[in-house]
Structure 1
Amino acid sequence: MPNGIRSACNRQPCIVESHRQMQAANPIVNQIATLKHLPSLPHILLKIISACNSDNIDMAEIARILEKDPSLSSKILRMVNSAHYGLPQKMESITQCVAYLGVNTIKTIAIGASISQALYPVQGNGLFNLKRFWRHSLKCAVLARLISKQIRHNNPEEAFLAGLLHDIGRLILWINYPKEYAELLSEYEDRPDLLLAAEIRMGMTHCEVGAWQLDRWSIQSFIVDAVLYHHQPADKVSNASTLVQIISVANALARFNIDDQERVLDLADKLCGINPSQAEEALSRTDEEMGEVARLLGLEIEEPSAREGTASTNDDETQQALVSEVRDVSLLLSAFQNLLDAPDEISVLNVIHQGLEILFDLKDIYIFIYDSEKDCLVGKEVTVNPRSSLIADFMVLVRSGQNLLASALRQAKPLHLAADATDYDTAIIDMQLLRFVGKDGIMAVPMLARGQFVGVIVMGLDQFEFSQLSEHINLLNMFARQAALSIHADQIRRSSLTMVRTERAGVSSDIARKVVHEVNNPLTIIKNYLKILGIKLNKQNIAQDEISIINKEIDRIGRILGVLSSFSRNEKLKAESVDVNAVLSDLIKITRESLQEHSKINIHMDLSSSLPNISSDEDRMKQIFVNLVKNASEAMSGGGNLYIKTRLISGRLDGDVTQGNGARLGYIEVTISDDGPGIPDEIKSRIFDPFVSSKGGGHSGLGLSIVNNIVRSMNGTITCESEGGKGAAFIVALPIINKNKS
């Protein structure tokens, strides 16, 4: 043996106690100390991300995939055993680490590694070298576990992990010195002794680099020893721990070739007492297990026939798939953030539409929201898709409906209907949607939040779009789940706000009744005494003017009490046929002159001619519109424009969905808007609460609260839309009830 090689094999490696001392002593340590990411095979990263995204997450399966990769295994061990978690004892099992960290953390680690690898991919024949490194590391790990079982070592999984990490130093050197170390690998890949000698000339062997890094990551010391000493001569290893001996033999067997057969088998017998037949059995079982791993990962791991190998077409495609996965995840995270930031349902729906456009390059997207009262899906208008206005308030039955949308929601999975697959039994509503989108088919993607129906996303697809979307169905489901949670959260927020308003209104009504009752009595007495005082005094007495002023102020208090009284009353509504357009027209006839001439307000009417009469209370309806018109005119103190618009929201269901004493046939929507200064953001969410006003002194802040109470008593809804400086719009929706239908 040449002297250089002998000295390399006999060199006594050591780990300097202080990392700082080591860093000062060796420039290689300076370089590797900054290392944060080690590359993994893209095949493994894709498998982990896919397993984490699965609807039926199998933690054991995730652990089995992870333990096949040295880079990810070392990263997870390093994380779990760090001071951040403060565990009383170190974890050495990947299965334990996965159970402790949870699927979300594992997924984050895999995505982080994927992003790093996509941004900084391995160059040239790097992927081929990475596969060679990975194949040898895994083969050594499998052999170490089998040998450990054969010799009845007490911890086969520890042996597997040590085998997996034994050459981690090579990977670290290759990443930090890609050109220099790649040349060494190319020249000495099949001669470990010569490679060690060349590494010593560099400054550190891969055994020392790997052991130093694992010790720095707080990996168990016996595993560190196995990494450090696995290339030491047999006579020295024979006095070491059993784990060191196992890894030394496993490493030699993993590089087994016919030319070196005698030395390797002699080493196996000397260190572990394994005879040639046992060694052959271990190699045969290892090859079988490696084949299973290859099938699991979709990876080509055949024995390399030459050092000058290159990455296969399959490898290149996998690397591109990883880059694509990273792109999708990055876009998905961005869409998630936008969903979280959306302030209301309209904004959430717009973000959903835009997210699907960006992620899947789709255009024909329509969103239906589940209405639990009517047990149906209701089409929603999305401002970024003008055609969606055509399906606004389009209704589809769910539990009793035999259609694509309802089936997707009930089965909690995306369903597709191709136009050429329709037949006599296809639901009419499905045929309508197919004709409406005008594509080869439609896909219905359910949105559920914690098992509750939220809605359905309907997409028109041609054959190519369907093919592309089918490859990303997990990504689509993830996006739909997040969209459902965002819509559900907005619904809970609005429901809670309504509940709070109702409770506040109830408390305020009780207070108002008591105030009106208690204050009216002394006011009446005061007015009576003032009248008597006025009679007693001479008409020319100067005090008469002061008495008059006091009377006027008492009358003003009476008017305020009148408002409070109106707010506190819970009168029963009359049921009469009401023409909403006529009510509005009469109101404007009365107020037009004062609004236009005195307040400089122009009135614009857009009343739908198709409105039916509704059964309601005309006086209370007038009170609603008077308050809203008054509110708008007061907001435009310097003049402006007042807009009044009505429209019919039709929506007869496929079957009768009843509420109260009749079947709801749709809604009449009345919008009263202005181009005043709008409503300040700080009170917008409380605009219907009692005693909230943006108009300053002299306004009780009860008008809109009264309006809200009346609208709700009519089973209607009222909403407010306002942007700073762009006016405000109040939208009242009143139900059309067919009282003749039970």
Structure 2
Amino acid sequence: AVLKAGRGEAGAKMVAEGHKLRVDGHSMIGAATGQRKARIALDVGEEPVHFKNPYLPHTRSEMALPLIFRDEVIGAITVQSVEEAAFTDDDITSLQAMADQLAVAIRNAKLLKELEAAHAELVRTKTFEAIATATIEAIHWIGNKALPITTSAELLREELEELDADRKAIESMLEDLEMIEDSARLIISVQEHLIGPAREEKPRPAMVDDVLVDTVVEMGIPDEIIEYQVADDLPLVRADTTQLNRAFGYILKNALEATEGQEEQRITVTIAPTDDRRFVAVRIADNGPGIPEEELDKIWAAFYTTKGVKHAGLGLSACLQIIKQIEGQVLASNGPDGGAVFELLIPVYDSPLPAAELPSGKAFLIVDDDDVWSRFAETLLTDNGNTVARSADGLVDPTAFDVILVDNVLRHGDVKKVLRLLDSEGTADRAVVVASSLRVERATELMAFGVRDVVLKPYTAADLAKIV
């Protein structure tokens, strides 16, 4: 129990020094709060629980009254006298009535303060929401106009590089084109932050660990700063994998920015089912400075940022929206050793999986890293009587294969280089590019190499059968 108010010079000194007594401890206040009833000492010298206060050495009698509001002890008051037997039972009755009224007044004041804080936060949140809503239509229009700019700038740059004209002039123009491309990409990026999470979700069975690793590789996060701790035999989750890729990207980007100033950047990813096996928990922890406690609830609001004007404050808000749409949860906290911890709970896919009829007797080439998806696909195809070869970089003779599955994200290879090779060997029409996250611009870009199709990566036998 901490002293919040005191009368006279002694009271002021005790308040200034943060005077406190243990609840249910060896004092009248401690006994009154612990036992939830008034205590009276007509002679403090004979009272076993009296605290000898050095600031009030002449106290001879004391009364302590608990402040109780709806069965909750919220404090206590003490009245002391330099006279022996200064208090009567009538004093206790009247002062207890006063204490009860005081408890109500204190509680009301606290509720009013909480209400004012909640109202201020609500106004702030609604303001951000109104700004976000008003901005979406404008950014959608701007983004649509900006998208062709990147394509046109890229074509111009390729044509300029082929010219034999004045190299200095060409280099200057190339620099200008690079600036134009960067600006257009920034506009499109902001558009994706705002509009991407609002697109209609198409949940399907998915391997959450594969989606996350693809996100890490796409972002170019070095192997040496990220550590994975993945439980065995993870169940499939139910999610729109393109949206899930976005959500993971926002959290990982946040972790990268938080650890930029550290001597040694470290991001730890833990993936495991929850105890009730209703969700798969994806925990992303960093060794950055962490999140101030007062900011933990605010970081989810659109446009809220603590990182300055260069950051739009849209990533975490978008992540929350994506996870809520699949009836999952996302939580933020600080780790015991410092650093921020984000935990995403992704619902388990609990519906029966449809039967699948896979081909047999075919030769397959899987161009992918040695990861959970490539092992899954290889096992299924092999068990059905097919021959399967795998390549991490795709730089093999493709002519001996009937079907070629190329992962859109390669840690040890370049997808476009692989597709150019297939095109030059006349085997591009045997290839299907599979992607855990699929965007229209990327699909259009890859289809230009003459591949059979660009599709979402299949995570079930039935989905694999559809593409092979």
Query: What TM-score do the two structures reach when normalised by structure 1?
Result: 0.30
Greater helix share, 1 or 2? Answer: 1
Max Rg structure: 1
Larger relative contact order (Cα-Cα within 8 Å, sequence gap ≥ 6) = 2
